[in-house]
Amino acid sequence: MGENCVLFALRRGHSHSREEAAVEIVHARCCGLDVHKKSVVACVLISQPDGLIERQVRTFKTMTGDLLALADWLSCLGVTHVALESTGVYWRPVFNVLEDDSRTLLLVNPQHMRAVPGKKTDVRDSEWLADLLRHGLLRGSFIPPAPIRAVRELTRYRKTLVQARTDEINRLQKTLEGANIKLASVASDVLGMSSRAMLTALLDGERDPDVMADLAQGRLRNKLPELRQALAGRIQPHHMILVGQILAHIDFLEQAIAQMQTEIERCLPPFEAALELLQSIPAIKAVAGAAILAEIGTDMSRFPSAGHLASWAGLCPSNKQSAGKRMKGPVNRGNVWLRAIMGEVAWNAVKMRDTYFHAQFQRVARRRGRQQAVIAVAHSLLIVIYHVLRTGRPYSELGGNYFDQLDATRVERHHVHRLEQLGYMVTLTPSAA
């Protein structure tokens, strides 16, 4: 019933059955959990020496006390391995309780297992999980240790706050445009010191463009004529209400982001060595390093290779092959949080001159475009992160001329051909050096 597994037949109405086929038993005492918001169905399969299979099914509620009862029941039955599906966030309370025990806990991606054909019930789902686990046919998802998960929740929430702040800034610019205030067309930052002073004066009832423009500081004072024109708008009362509320919300979000950053830094001392290794890579600073560490952890042995990590992050094309031909496939969805972080780091890395990543970006962008090039750089950065954390050695820069040195003959041929196309006769003479 599937390409990689053989199911045993269970007699309806009986708690014991005998296997119809000689299949290797990997885990003699295992359990499958079908998790829902308010209940969890547990199916325990126990292989007997005579070939019989004892099957026990119970349903528990998902309150902490009921989950502790589930853990005690599994301990009484001697269950050594437990598998559960990653259904939204409902698996987390179950995982939090069961991971404290000595048994092995596998969180399974629903896409990696086939459903039982026929009438679908919670009992059948839990039984299917238990049977696949019993034969060693399930692969657990990557779940970092509890300290890393704590940092992950904090960094993800900080990212959410930053995105909310960005949304509010865009909303502020939209409101100002609606009031014919073209401040964003003159000032590079509508929340800079000068712009904030002008908006505060606007909220206090000031409407004279000359007075508000005179609040400019620094280099913005070179644009006083443009500022006077930009601040001459058609302001309505509701515009001021919106601007006041948006600015207050932005202040709240900035305070929340600062507080969240403090809490993140408080959790990072145990991972200082790994963070120093990450920050040896160009464009990875403290905030990005903490976010990357929160997503992948410090133990790279959880990933068989650097390619597996890149695939898990969604930074490599999917495997699409038919009739012996490899076809272009979309990039895997992967870990959207890690992929977003790596995209930001990659854009910063390609701006650094005389580096390997800048040279790689220029090399790929000529053929595939900037978007494909930055994904390639993000992929390379993640490969570097994998090896840096696995070996414990800091990053060593290859240099911006790495690709030229890698294939000097090809580079010479390319430039000679270009000069010949322009009508020159080219003779190459090695330098004395």
pTM of the predicted model, to two decimals?
Answer: 0.82
User: How many helices (H) and strands (E) would you count in the chain?
Assistant: 16, 8
> Which DSSP letter does residue 40 get?
E
Could you give the CA distance from residue 303 to residue 188 in angstroms, rounded to a whole number? Answer: 44
pLDDT attached to residue 16: 43
Contacts of 326 (CB under 8 A, 6+ apart): 320
pLDDT values of the chain reduced to their tens digit, one per residue, 433 residues? 333 333 333 333 334 444 444 467 889 999 999 999 999 999 999 988 887 889 999 999 999 999 999 999 999 999 999 999 888 899 999 999 998 778 899 999 887 766 555 557 788 888 888 888 888 888 888 899 999 999 999 999 999 999 999 999 999 999 999 999 999 999 989 999 999 999 999 999 888 999 999 999 989 999 999 999 999 989 999 999 999 999 999 999 999 999 999 999 999 999 999 999 999 998 999 999 999 999 999 999 999 999 999 999 998 877 767 777 777 766 777 899 999 999 999 999 999 999 999 999 999 999 889 999 999 999 999 999 999 999 999 999 988 888 877 777 777 888 888 888 988 888 888 876 5
pLDDT attached to residue 118: 58
The 3-state DSSP class for residue 404 equals helix
- Token reading at 401: 């001329």
Q: What are phi and psi of 45, to 5 degrees?
A: -115, 125
Amino acid at position 173, single letter: Q
Residue 201 near residue 215 (C-beta atoms within 8 A): yes
Could you give the CA distance from residue 99 to residue 104 in angstroms, rounded to a whole number? Answer: 8
pLDDT attached to residue 381: 96
pLDDT attached to residue 50: 81
DSSP states along 205-260: T---HHHHHTT--GGGGGGHHHHHHHT-----HHHHHHHHHHHHHHHHHHHHHHHH
